């Protein structure tokens, strides 16, 4: 199976999980079109994600491509994703995993309190819950497991496409 197919499967699973969490917690999650706090950051994406984003970019109308290219020139300095337009992602269906999972309740070995993994989420979500430990485990994303899976898919992609960069700054995809 090709890495792009495996990546598509991963995106489908992430979307199903995100939809499940959003539906079950609709009153406590503020993630929706127009909420773009997580888009005000610069980051890199894996090569497999970059290829997917480029695929989506190629299908956009020329005027939108020109706007994104223009925004990408300033993205690193102003910390705004070049795909963000009027509070909405121009390539929503092609966005990388980090964009699909930001705001969800998650655990990671990199987020510890007193040596224990704790559940975290965007501070805009779950305002009525005093401690995110109250979020049922079936709605908590294991970020380490997801990242390990994404890394493995990216390694396969790089094996299929030798000589490419492992990670690419998002704003450089549109040069």
pLDDT tens, N- to C-terminus, the chain (175 residues): 899 999 999 999 999 999 999 888 877 787 777 788 888 887 899 999 999 999 999 999 999 999 999 988 887 677 889 999 998 999 999 999 999 998 899 988 887 778 887 888 888 887 766 667 778 889 999 999 999 999 999 999 999 999 999 999 988 999 7
**Residue 127 and residue 28: Cα distance in Å, rounded?**
6
What whole-number distance in Å separates Cα of residue 17 and Cα of residue 137?
A: 12
pLDDT of residue 152: 97
Instruction: Return the pLDDT at 67.
Output: 95
Q: State the Cα torsion 47-143-43-163 to the nearest 10°.
A: -20
Q: Where are the domains of the chain?
A: 3-174
Q: What is the pLDDT of residue 30?
A: 79
Give the pLDDT score at 22: 87
At what angle are helices 47-58 and 3-24 packed, to 10 degrees?
A: 80
| Residues whose CB falls within 8 Å of the CB of residue 156, separated by 6 or more in sequence, listed in order | 3, 6, 48
Please tell me the distance from the alpha carbon of residue 46 to that of residue 39, in angstroms, as a whole number: 17
pLDDT at 131: 65
* Number of residues in the chain: 175
pTM: 0.90
**What is residue 126's predicted lDDT score, i.e. its pLDDT?**
76
Q: In whole angstroms, give the CA distance from residue 155 to residue 87.
A: 33
């Amino acid at each position: 199976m090709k890495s792009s197919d495996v990546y598509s499967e991963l995106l489908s699973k992430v979307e199903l999980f995100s939809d499940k969490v959003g539906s079950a917690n609709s009153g406590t999650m503020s993630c929706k079109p127009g909420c773009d706090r997580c888009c005000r950051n610069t980051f890199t994406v894996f090569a497999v994600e970059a290829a997917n984003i480029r695929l989506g970019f190629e299908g956009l109308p020329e005027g939108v491509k020109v706007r994104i290219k223009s925004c990408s020139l300033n993205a690193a300095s102003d910390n705004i994703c070049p795909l963000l337009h009027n509070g909405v992602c121009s390539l929503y269906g092609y966005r990388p995993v980090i964009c699909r999972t930001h705001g969800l309740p998650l655990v990671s070995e990199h987020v510890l309190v007193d040596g224990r993994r704790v559940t975290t989420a965007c501070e805009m979500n779950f305002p009525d819950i005093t401690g995110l430990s109250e979020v049922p485990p079936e709605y908590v994303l294991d970020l380490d497991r997801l990242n390990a899976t994404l890394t493995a898919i990216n390694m396969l992609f790089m094996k299929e496409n030798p000589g490419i960069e492992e990670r690419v700054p998002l704003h450089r995809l549109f040069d």
